[in-house]
Amino acid sequence: MRVDETTVRRIARLARIKISNEDAKSLEGELSGILDWAEELNGADTTTVEPMTRVVPIELKKRVDEITDGNIADDIVKNAPMVEDHYFVVPKVVE
């Protein structure tokens, strides 16, 4: 699978990572190499195989829907780069 520069840029945009022109060039080759390798999987016959969803056959646990935690707003915003009155501050999104 040949990944071209346009694809690298599209993927980087989806992944929200800014890449330089140089990076885009070297990523073309690196990503193509890894995807070529992934194509070896076509050698495995999976026509009647279910995809794996969990490694241990246990039913996911459920708990009673009740409040077990809370009132920790200070803790939650403690590590945020920009905070105002327990709110995360981000650049303006709505004009």
Partner 1 sequence: MTDLTKLTIAEARDKLRKKEVSATELTQAFIDAIEVANPQLNAYVRTTPELALKQAEESDRRLKSGDARPLEGLPLGNKDLFCTKDVETTACSKILEGFTPTYRSTVGSNLWNAGAVMLGKLNCDEFAMGSSNETSAYGPVVSPWRRAGADGQLTSENLVPGGSSGGSSAAVAADLCLGATATDTGGSIRQPAALTGTVGIKPTYGRCSRWGIVAFASSLDQAGPLAKTVRDAAIMLRSMASHDPKDSTSVETPVPDYELALAQGVKGLRVGVPKEYRVEGMSPDIERLWQEGIEWLKAAGATIHEVSLPHTKFALPTYYVVAPAEASSNLARYDGVRYGLRVEGKDLIDMYENSRAAGFGKEVQRRVLIGTYVLSAGYYDAYYLKAQKVRTLIKRDFDDAWQSVDVLLTPTTPTPAFKIGEKLDDPMAMYAQDIFTVTVNMAGLPGISVPAGISVDGLPLGLQLIGKPFDEATLFRAAQVIEDAAGHFRVPQRWWETAR
Tally the C-alpha atoms within 13 A of residue 90's C-alpha that lie toward its C-beta: 3
**In which residue are the tokens 């490694």 written?**
55
Name which of residues 4 to 63 contact partner 1 (CB under 8 A).
7-8, 11-19, 27, 30-31, 33-35, 37-44, 46, 49-56, 58, 60-61, 63
Distance CA 18, CA 24 (A): 10
70 binds partner 1 (CB under 8 A): no
Distance CA 33, CA 19 (A): 19
* Binder of partner 1 out of 2, 5, 80, 86 (CB under 8 A): 80
85 binds partner 1 (CB under 8 A): no
16 phi and psi angles, rounded to 5 deg: 60, 45
Contacts with partner 1 by CB under 8 A lie at 3, 7-8, 11-19, 27, 30-31, 33-35, 37-44, 46, 49-56, 58, 60-61, 63, 72, 75-76, 78-82, 88, 90-93
